[in-house]
Amino acid sequence: MNRFQTDMHNNLRLAVDSLQGISEKSKMDLETWIKEIISLKYQMETLADQKGYSINCKRSIPICKGECCKWHYPRNLTHVDFFIAIFNMGEEQKALLSKKILGAKYDHCPMLLKTGCFLSFEQRPVLCTNAYPCFSDHSYWIEKEKKNILFKKAFDCILKIKFISD
C-alpha cells in the first residue's frame, strides 16, 4: 500500500472517530460551516459553468477518462477534509470509502471510479474545487484565491469547534 493511502486511511479513521458522541450543539455549529463550504464550492462551479468549463470537461471525459484525478489529485487530505466529507454520510458508504482507499491498486486517486468521483459534489474535498486544469483561465484562479480565504475561515472554525476545543 502506498504511503498516501495509509495517510488517507488514517485520516478517514480519525474523522470517523471524531463523529462519535458529538454533542447536538457542536453538530449544529459544524453543520453551519460545512454548509458554507458547500455553498462556496457551488459558487466556483457556477463560475466554471458560466465560462463553459463544465460542459467542455463533460464532453472530454470519454477521451481523457478523468486524467486530472489521476495525476493532480490531493494526496495530502487531512482528517478535517475527511470529516467534512463524511459528516452526512451513511455507515455503508463510509465502509465502502474505507475499502476503496485501502484497495486502490493504481497510482491515481483512490476515490476515482470508472464513472467519476466516489464522492458527490457536496462531499468532494475542497482541494478538488481546484478543478478544470485543462480550461481554467487567469480570472478563474483569481476568484479561487479570493474564495480560499473564505474556505480557510470555515476550516478554522471547524477545527476550533471539533478538534481544538473538544
Residues that bind ligand SF4 (CB under 6 A): 57, 60-61, 64, 66-69, 73, 109, 111-112, 117, 119, 124-125, 128, 132-134
Residue bearing cell 469547534? 161
| 16-21 CB contacts, 8 Å cutoff, 24+ apart | 16/82, 16/86, 16/94, 18/79, 18/83, 18/162, 18/163, 19/83, 19/86, 19/87
Task: Count the neighbouring beta carbons within 10 Å of the beta carbon of residue 12.
Answer: 22
Of 110, 107, 68, which is closest to residue 85 (Cα–Cα)? Answer: 110
Shortest separation between residue 3's beta carbon and ligand SF4, angstroms = 17
Shortest separation between residue 101's beta carbon and ligand SF4, angstroms = 10
The residue (of 25 and 58) whose beta carbon lies closer to ligand SF4 is 58
Shortest separation between residue 73's beta carbon and ligand SF4, angstroms = 3
The residue (of 134 and 142) whose beta carbon lies closer to ligand SF4 is 134
Shortest separation between residue 58's beta carbon and ligand SF4, angstroms = 8
The residue (of 104 and 161) whose beta carbon lies closer to ligand SF4 is 104
